[in-house]
């Protein structure tokens, strides 16, 4: 989308976040994203030095091997019912 670089609606962050410009920019980005898989988009961002990551559902996180290895989801027992619940673990390690 090199043509957007010179588009006055998007030339600065101040212009991009104006309500009148935000919707068209979101539409452009959405159209671009729908033409790619998440992995393809992330690779393109990485190739350009853009920090990005997927937005994951709780179900995706619970099934992801990386999060499992880090202990991001832990099982705890509810003291009242005795049920086992899954909840976020400690988000950082020292």
Identify the band that residue 88 occupies on the pLDDT scale cut at 50, 70 and 90.
Answer: confident
Return the pLDDT at 13. Answer: 94
Model pTM above 0.75: no
More confident of the two residues 70 and 51: 51
Q: Which two tokens stand for residue 80?
A: 């009242």
Q: Which two tokens stand for residue 14?
A: 């101040």
Identify the band that residue 80 occupies on the pLDDT scale cut at 50, 70 and 90.
Answer: very high
Return the pLDDT at 62. Answer: 84
Tell me: pLDDT of 91 over 90.
Answer: no
C-alpha 21/C-alpha 54 separation (Å) is: 25
For the chain, count helices (H), then strands (E). Answer: 5, 2
More confident of the two residues 54 and 1: 54
Answer yes or no: are the C-beta atoms of 73 and 89 closer than 8 Å. Answer: yes
Domain positions in the chain are 2-47, 58-88
């Amino acid at each position: 989308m090199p043509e957007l670089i010179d588009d006055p609606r998007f030339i600065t962050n101040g212009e991009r976040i104006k309500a009148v410009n935000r919707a068209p920019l979101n539409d452009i980005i959405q159209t671009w994203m729908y033409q790619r898989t998440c992995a393809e988009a992330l690779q393109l961002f990485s190739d350009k030095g853009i920090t990005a990551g997927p937005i994951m559902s709780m179900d995706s996180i619970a099934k992801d091997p990386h999060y499992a290895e880090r202990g991001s989801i832990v099982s705890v027992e509810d003291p009242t019912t005795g049920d086992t619940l899954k909840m976020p673990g400690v988000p950082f390690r020292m």
